[in-house]
Structure 1
C-alpha cells in the first residue's frame, strides 16, 4: 500500500512541525516510509519553511507547495492534495489538520488500516470537549445522521482517510470546487459524498483531539456559513438518497475506545447572546421569509429566554434548507444568529455536566432530528 499524508495549512508555523514529525514517524513505523505533502495557502509566517526543515526518518519524503486553485481555503488545498495523490498513484490518502497538538504516529496507522481491510472512507472518532465543535454538535452531526442514516459522530472532523477509489469521485465535478467546498465546506462534502455515493464508511478511534479551538461567537460565523451552505447544497443534490432514510445505522468504530476528560474550551456565553440578538435584528426580514410562521415565532420566543429546544432547532435547519432550495436564501449566513442562540442554550444546559454527560444530549439531538424528518418531507 502506497500511503500519502496530506496537510493543508495557512499560517500554522507554530504547530505544523509537530504534525509533520508525528506523521513521518507513523509512515516509517507502519509502512517503512511514504510521502507527506503540505498544500499551503500562501502563509506569511514561515509555515512552509518549518515543513521543509522538519527532520524526518529515512524513507519519508516531504514536499510543500502553494496551491494554485484561485479560491482561498482549506478545500482548495485538499483538492490539490487529492490531485497530487492521484498523480503519485497513492492507494491511501490521509488528511490531517496542521494545528493538531494531539496527533501521534498511531493516527496514520489508524486511518490506513481500515482502508487496507476494505473501507473507502475513514472518519475520526475522538474525544472533544463539550464546547469544542459546536457546528458539529449542533448541525453537522444531527443533520448527517438523520438525513443519510449513518451515525458518523465527526462528519467535519478535519482528519480523514480515503481510498484511491474516491479521488475521481471527489474531483470529477470541477464546478463544485467553485463553491464553499473550496473553503470550510470541504469536510461535510467529503463525508456526505462518500455516504451518498454508497462507499464503505467507518470511524477510527483517536483518543483526545487537542488543537486550536475557536470561540464560536468570536470567530465561527464564516465557517458556519460555509459548512451549512454546503450541507444545504448537497441536500438538493442527493435528495433522492436521503428522502427514504427512516433510521440511523451505527457506523463501525475501528479500534478500542477509551475515555478521559478533555481540556476545557472556553465559550463566551454573554457574547453569544448579544451576537444572537444583534444579528437576528439585522436578518429579521429575510428570516421571516425563510422560516415557517410557527418556526419564526418559536425563534423570537427562544431569543428572549435562550431556551431553544431540539425540535425547534431541527425545524430551523429544515426550513433553512428548504429556503435555500427555493432560492429565498442564497447562503446560510442569515441563520448564524440562531446558531449562536442554540449554542447559548447548550452552554446553559450543560454548564455543570462533564463532556460525557453532555454527549448524551448530543446523541439525543440526532434522534430528535430523525423523529422530525416528516416535517422536512412535508415542506420540501
Structure 2
C-alpha cells in the first residue's frame, strides 16, 4: 500500500522533528517506507529546516513546501497535501498534527491500515484530559453524533486516515476552500463530508493524546468561530441527510483500546467567566435576534450562576444554526460568549472528577442533543 503522511505546520520547530521521526519509523516498519510531506504556512522559526534535516530511514522520503492557497490556515495546508497525495497516486493519506508529543510509529499503522481493509475515513480515538478539547466535547462531538447518527468521539481530532476515494470528494468544490474550511473548519469538514456522503468510517485507538493544548478563554475564540461556522454551513448543505436521523449508531473501534492517564490541561475558570460576561454584553443585541425568546432568557439566567445545562446548550447551538441559515448570523462568533459560559459550567461540575468520570457526562450530552432534535426541526 502506498502511504503518504501529511503534516500541516506553522511555527512548530520545537515539536515537528519528533513527529517526522515517529512517522518515518511507522512507514518503514509497517509499509516498507513511504513519503512524509510537510505543508507549511510560512513559518518564521525554521520549521521546514527541522523537517528536512530530521534523520529518517533510507526507505522514507521527506519533502516540505509552503502552500500557495491564499487563505492562511490549517485547511489550506491539508488541501494541498491531498492534492500532492492524489498526484503521487497514494492509496492512503495520513494526517498528523505538528505539535504531537504522544505520537508513536504505531499511529501511522493504525491510521492507514484500516484503509487497506476497506475503510475510507479513519477518525482518531484518544484518551484526552477532561479539559483538553473543549470545542470537541461541548460542540463538535454532540452535534455530529446527534445530527448524523454516528458516535464519532473525535470529529475534529486533527489526526486522520483518508482513502484515495475521498480526495476527489474533498477537492471537488474549490469554493468551499474559500471559507473557514481553509482554517480550523477543515477537520469538521472532513469528518462530516465522509459521514454525510456515506463513506465507510471507523475510529482507531491511539491511546493518550499529548500535544500543545490551549486555554479556552485565552486562545480558542477564533477556532470556535471557524469550527462552528463550518458546522452550520454543512448543516445547510446536508439537511436531507440529518433530518431523519433518530438514533446514534456506534462506530467500530479499530485496534485495542489503550489505557492511561493524560497530562492535566490548565483552564482559567475565572477568565472564562469574565470573558463570557463581557462578550455577551458586546453581542447581546444580535444574540437576542438569533436565539428564541426562551433560550435567550435561559442564557441570561445561566450567565448569573454558570449553571448551564445540556438542554439549554443544545437549544443555543440549534438556534444558532437556524440563525446562520436565515442570515441573522453571518458567522458563529457572537455565540463564543456562551461557549465560554458552558465550558465554565463543565469545569465547575467536573472539578473533582477523573477524566473517565467526566467522559460519561460528555457522552450523555450527545444523547441530550439527540432527544432535543425535535426542537431543532421545529425551528428549522
C-alpha separation in 2, matches of 1:266 and 1:111: 29
- Residue 113 of structure 1, CA deviation: 1.1
For 2:198, the equivalent position in structure 1 comes to: 198
**What CA deviation, in whole Å up to 9, does each residue of 1:276-322 have, x standing for no partner?**
00000000000000000000000000000000000000000000000
For 1:184, the equivalent position in structure 2 comes to: 184
Task: Say how many residue pairs are matched.
Answer: 380
C-alpha separation in 1, matches of 2:266 and 2:357: 18
How high is the TM-score relative to the length of structure 1? 1.00
1:338-349 aligned within 5 A: 338-349=338-349
C-alpha separation in 2, matches of 1:75 and 1:258: 29
For 1:251, the equivalent position in structure 2 comes to: 251
C-alpha separation in 2, matches of 1:113 and 1:74: 24
C-alpha separation in 1, matches of 2:199 and 2:32: 28
1:1-380 aligned within 5 A: 1-380=1-380
**3-state SS of paired residue (1:307):** coil
C-alpha separation in 1, matches of 2:117 and 2:32: 19
How high is the TM-score relative to the length of structure 2? 1.00
C-alpha separation in 2, matches of 1:215 and 1:182: 23
**What CA deviation, in whole Å up to 9, does each residue of 1:175-222 have, x standing for no partner?**
000000000000000000000000000000000000000000000000
Q: Aligned-pair RMSD on alpha carbons?
A: 0.3
C-alpha separation in 1, matches of 2:260 and 2:43: 35
**3-state SS of paired residue (2:265):** coil
**What CA deviation, in whole Å up to 9, does each residue of 1:74-93 have, x standing for no partner?**
00000000000000000000
C-alpha separation in 1, matches of 2:88 and 2:118: 21
- Residue 261 of structure 1, CA deviation: 1.5
Contiguous gaps of at least 5 residues in structure 2? none
Retained in 1: the 8 A contact 2:15–2:98?
Answer: yes
**3-state SS of paired residue (2:214):** coil
